[in-house]
Amino acid sequence: MMTLLNILHLSAILLSGWLIMHAMSYLIALSEKRGRRILLFGGCVLLCTMIIFIGDPFNILATTPVFLVIVFLSCKGTFWQKVTIGLLFSSTIFSFSALRDNYIHDLLFPPGQLGISVVIFGGSDISHTFNGTWIPAEHGYHISQLFTLPFALLLCLYTKKNAPDKDYALSDSMWRLLLFLTFIPLGIVMAVVTLLRYYDYNVNAMAHREYAVLLLIALFAFICLLWCVTVLAKQRKLEQQSMFAEINRRYYETMEQQHFEIRRLKHDLANHIQVLSSLPEEKRAAYAEELSGHTALSQSVAYCGDSTVNAVLTVKKSMMERCRIRLEMDVKIPTPLPYDKTDLCALYANALDNAVEACMKLDETQRKISLKCRADKGLFCLEVCNPDPESARSQTGKQTASMSGKPSAHSLIPPTSKADKRNHGLGLKSIHEIVTRYHGSLEIKTENGVFDLFLYLPLPEYR
């Protein structure tokens, strides 16, 4: 029986540790190195197997910093994110363990019954009777620790259900706020475990129900704080989506205004001709030059069957000509695309703006942008290529990154070269947000000195 109990105890603790580590992975990125993941698994197993007595401060005070160090070594993220997540999960497990080892255990093995040899901290082994069978106290705690498995399972399912997107990001100020809120229930658990001196093997823990109430309050607070991470992450994402939508809307309105100017000036062309015929010779040339230089009279070409794409390409091609950038296009879009106009404008405009920014760092002879796009067989594909200034200087070879669905974009988005980095560098993030929203895929790579952005979106009528 003892051998079977030991096997059940070990299996439950190992599985509980894996569930806790899996729950953590929903809120913080784990290291890709196998050794560090094994280290984190060991830390989670340590949390689950640690016995927390009320009135015995050693275990909780020794284990907490050890687990935080393991989190720092095994997880990715900012300093404040690691501290907050580490304390949240360790304190949640400790509050449950205190309830388990002081109250659940005493419900299973009430002190003072026949078959208990009471010796505190030494002497002979403490033993219990369980269903009429004598068992050492060590195995009594093994039995009570089996309750850790259903708790870890519920915690993992709860975290999974309420987990934010994988690419969620909170600012350091938000993480510091969550850490501050964590200190309140953490202080309750620490005070109950380390400051109170009631524990007596002759006294049933139910005689101190007020401590159980405090631990339950702390446990509930930790669960609510885990939910707060999700709420803040979703709110942050909504704010970013709103910001991108506003940027894209303004971009599209600018394009629309430019095309309105084109239509207006072309409509007024007869009036301009009359003005030219009535002006004296010395003013006629100046007026004609001013009129011909107006951006609204630049060439407007129907590149494809989508008016939004035509508008963006017309404006960007004119800009590239002024910057002496060669643009090679292969556009095969026979009919209007079934996407929001502001999203479509943002995809093309941001991709081309980033390519222009890169080309402006090169000599005029090297400035070249290639654009290919097509809508066929249920997919809309867009590819923009341009010389990469960094690769041109370093010749470092090939770098590739891709996104599909929810993976983080931060690792593949190169930093902006503009001085105001806070208000710039949003182009690729906006593209990623749009691609993710339409359930598409985005790939960015640098190979042989060429920066290549490729994305595809499913066409709704084929989905």
Residue 382 pLDDT > 60? yes
Confidence grade of residue 262 (pLDDT, cut at 50, 70, 90): low
Confidence grade of residue 365 (pLDDT, cut at 50, 70, 90): confident
* Most confident stretch, 254-263, 290-299, 414-423: 254-263
- Tell me the mean pLDDT in the region 372-376: 91
Residue 122 neighbours by CB under 8 Å, 6+ apart: none
pLDDT per residue as tens digits for the range 331-340: 999 888 988 8
Q: What is the pLDDT of residue 70?
A: 94
334 token code pair: 């026979």
Task: Round to whole Å and give the CA distance between 120 and 117.
Answer: 10
The mean of the pLDDT values for the chain is 77
426 token code pair: 């949003």
Residue 113 pLDDT > 50? no
Q: Which of 353, 132, 325 is nearest to 248 (CA)?
A: 353
Better pLDDT: 59 or 169: 59
Task: Round to whole Å and give the CA distance between 435 and 241.
Answer: 12
Label residue 458 exposed, middle or buried (CB < 10 Å: 0-12, 13-18, 19+). Answer: middle
Q: What is the pLDDT of residue 457?
A: 93
Q: Is 77 left (phi over 0), alpha (psi -120 to 50) or beta?
A: left
Better pLDDT: 208 or 426: 208
pLDDT above 90 as % of the chain: 22
pLDDT per residue as tens digits for the range 276-311: 667 777 676 777 666 655 555 555 567 888 888 887
Residue 379 neighbours by CB under 8 Å, 6+ apart: 456, 457, 458, 459, 462
pLDDT per residue as tens digits for the range 87-102: 999 999 999 988 888 8
Cβ pair 143, 108 in contact under 8 A: yes
Q: What is the pLDDT of residue 409?
A: 39
pLDDT per residue as tens digits for the range 122-153: 333 444 444 444 455 556 667 878 888 999 99
23 token code pair: 């729950």
- Tell me the mean pLDDT in the region 41-70: 90
Task: Round to whole Å and give the CA distance between 444 and 452.
Answer: 6
- Tell me the mean pLDDT in the region 54-80: 90
Task: Round to whole Å and give the CA distance between 50 and 145.
Answer: 9
Task: Round to whole Å and give the CA distance between 380 and 442.
Answer: 12
Task: Give the number of other Cβ atoms within 10 Å of residue 4's Cβ.
Answer: 8
Which residue(s) pair with 129 in the sheet? 134
Does this model's pTM top 0.75?
Answer: no
With H, G, I as helix, E, B as strand and everything else as coil, classify residue 169: coil
Residue 386 pLDDT > 60? yes
Task: Give the number of other Cβ atoms within 10 Å of residue 122's Cβ.
Answer: 5
Q: Which of 98, 123, 7 is nearest to 47 (CA)?
A: 98
Query: Quick one: angle between helices 34-49 and 79-99, nearest 10?
Result: 30
Q: What is the pLDDT of residue 192?
A: 85
Q: Helices marked H in 100-165 — which ranges?
A: 105-108, 137-145, 148-162
Task: Round to whole Å and give the CA distance between 400 and 404.
Answer: 14
pLDDT per residue as tens digits for the range 17-41: 999 999 999 888 898 889 999 999 9
